[in-house]
A and B are shown apart, each in its own frame.
Chain A
């Protein structure tokens, strides 16, 4: 059982890194685009085309991330289906029980399912990795932009 829990932590570290690497590619594209803007101010037509291409690429990679995460999640979900991966040291409140006791037999609510531990891991590890790599939106941006700049919880789909 401990092996399972550690495996889930490892999985969530891996997926968090995957997401950040994909984002780094995007960010790189962004900076290139800015340089272009300075250099070819007159060629606005070309810039427009570039922008369109860029947003297309961005959209593609966003779809790729979403798709990959959904596929990964459903794969792990079926691998850990019906398995107790951890023992909770507390009784979860009723509306969390649906998550923490998903697809588990019996009604011992201190048993913890894969999805609950995975979500917790993602919440902590992903944010910290973002912060470490410097991809977290700045405080001012997240305050002003609200939902727009908030990290999309795409992997929970």
Chain B
């Protein structure tokens, strides 16, 4: 009995995540659950942070321009996604600032870690 419950639970969970993926990548989705939308933004941020960290490390980009570029790209992509792709009313979420803030510090830390590690691995022996 309990195992049956579990399997249906897992199945429904899979369905939910799948629909969340499609929801995230189709434009102008109706977001009934605010938390869901903020979660999408949060994970998007993390992904962007890690990808940018990889790129900056491979290029390699040095100095504060790297950090500034990260902040600009991160905020810009999320802003475009929210306002142009999803056309969400930002006031529902307490203004653009709340959306921009969502998961920013975590993404920033993740970005720094990937950047530093890739940079160390590839260019650690050179001096700045």
Interface residue ranges of A1-26 to B (CB < 8 Å): 1-2, 5-6, 9
- Assembly CA distance A115 to B107 (angstroms): 19
B32-63 interface (Cβ within 8 A of A): 35, 38, 42, 46, 49, 56-57, 60-63
Interface locus among B2-10, B15-23, B80-88, B109-117 = B109-117
Interface contact A2-B66, CB-CB below 8 Å: no
A121 within 8 A of B: yes
Q: Which residues of A contact B (CB under 8 A)?
A: 1-2, 5-6, 9, 86-91, 108, 110, 112, 117, 120-121, 123-125, 127-128, 131, 138-139
User: Which 5 interchain pairs have the tightest Cβ spacing?
Assistant: A124-B110, A123-B109, A124-B109, A2-B121, A86-B120
How close is B51's CB to chain A, nearest CB, in angstroms?
A: 14
Q: How large is the interface on B (under 10, 10 to 19, 20 to 34, 35 or more residues)?
A: 20 to 34
Is B124 within 8 A of A89, CB to CB? no
Contact A117 B110 (CB under 8 A): no
Other-chain residue from B61, B62, B116 in contact with A86 (beta carbon distance below 8 A): B116
B11 to chain A, nearest CB (A): 18
Asked if B97 is at the interface (CB within 8 A of a chain A CB), the reply is no
- Whether B42 pairs with A131 at a CB distance below 8 angstroms is yes
Which residue of chain A has the shortest Cβ distance to B42 in the bound complex? A131
CB of B106 within 8 A of CB of A128, answer yes
- B interface residue numbers (CB < 8 A to A): 35, 38, 42, 46, 49, 56-57, 60-64, 66-67, 103, 105-107, 109-110, 112-113, 115-117, 119-121, 123-124, 127-128
A125 to B117, CA, bound (A): 14
Complexed CA–CA distance, A1 and B119 (Å): 11
Residue of B64, B109, B115 most packed against chain A (CB within 10 A): B109
Complex partner residue of A139 from B35, B57, B127, CB under 8 angstroms:
B35
Residues of A within 8 A of B109 (CB): 120-121, 123-124
Contact for A87 among B49, B66, B119, CB less than 8 A: B119
Contacting residue for A138 out of B35, B49, B106, B128, CB 8 A: B35
**Which residues from chain B contact A2 at a C-beta distance below 8 Å?**
117, 120-121, 124
Q: Report if A124-B106 is in contact (Cβ < 8 Å); known contacts: A2-B117, A89-B57.
A: yes
Instruction: Contact check, A89 vs B116: say whether CB atoms are below 8 A apart.
Output: yes
Give CA–CA (A117, B120) in the complex, Å.
12
Which residues of chain A are near B123, meaning CB under 8 Å? 87, 89
